[in-house]
Chains A and B, each alone.
Chain A
Amino acid sequence: RKEVEQDPGPFNVPEGATVAFNCTYSNSASQSFFWYRQDCRKEPKLLMSVYSSGNEDGRFTAQLNRASQYISLLIRDSKLSDSATYLCVVNIITGNQFYFGTGTSLTVIP
């Protein structure tokens, strides 16, 4: 069983749409949770850390459900520049291990 499961998509949405990505993790000892964005042929860049109470940064909202071992990312009012692959990442502090989902591809269409 994979540590982190993520729907690979692709998601093709029109500009202005709201889109949600989901991710589940298997290890209940997981301590930190993140969403990264990766553009084609570039490195992953940290988009948001995900806190237990949920957190919002502009058009982006991240939520964590520890009981269901589930993380989500909501993007409102999608822009063309949001087109990228979104990676769900889980950290287990023991061994400083980070586990990656497969990534979800998003294309925002004019």
Chain B
Amino acid sequence: DTEVTQTPKHLVMGMTNKKSLKCEQHMGHRAMYWYKQKAKKPPELMFVYSYEKLSINESVPSRFSPECPNSSLLNLHLHALQPEDSALYLCASSEGLAGVNEQYFGPGTRLTVT
């Protein structure tokens, strides 16, 4: 099973709203990722969690707040977003070990900020 699940599939929120994106994997992977993807562009890394600790924050604005409650779950809390934050938000996971380290993506949350 190489499944990463994400909820919700679609989200429309106003600039003053607070919402959360959720991601789950049951592959025993120890690294989890948040990416942002705009149309016709590759995924852009936002955060990496390794063994439930934040290991990389790619200078993401504080209106995006990641959380890793346990090794299977990853959340992205959203607050006071801007219309330019509208994008596909992808969660991914990988084993996080040396060797061939394949990364698996969830279906994404398509976010629209109005």
- A residues adjacent to B (C-beta < 8 A): 31-32, 34, 41-46, 49, 51, 87, 89, 91, 93, 95-98, 100-103
Contacts and interface: CB of A to CB of B under 8 A. Distances in A.
Given A95-B55, A96-B31, A101 B42 contact: yes
Interface of B: 2, 31, 33, 41-43, 45, 48, 50, 55-56, 88, 90, 92, 94, 96-108, 110
B102 A96 contact: no
Contacts of A95: 48, 50, 55-56
B101 A97 contact: no
Nearest to A102: B42
Contacts of A34: 102-103
Nearest to A105: B40
- Complex A-B, nearest 8 residue pairs according to Cβ-Cβ distance, in ascending order: A100-B42, A43-B105, A96-B31, A32-B100, A32-B101, A91-B101, A43-B108, A44-B105
Nearest to B2: A46
A32 B105 CA distance: 17
Nearest to B107: A43
B107 A46 contact: no
B111 to A, nearest CB: 13
B42 A98 contact: no
B48 A97 contact: yes
B45 A96 contact: no
A10 B36 CA distance: 23
Contact of A96 (B43, B48, B90): B48
A11 B59 CA distance: 34
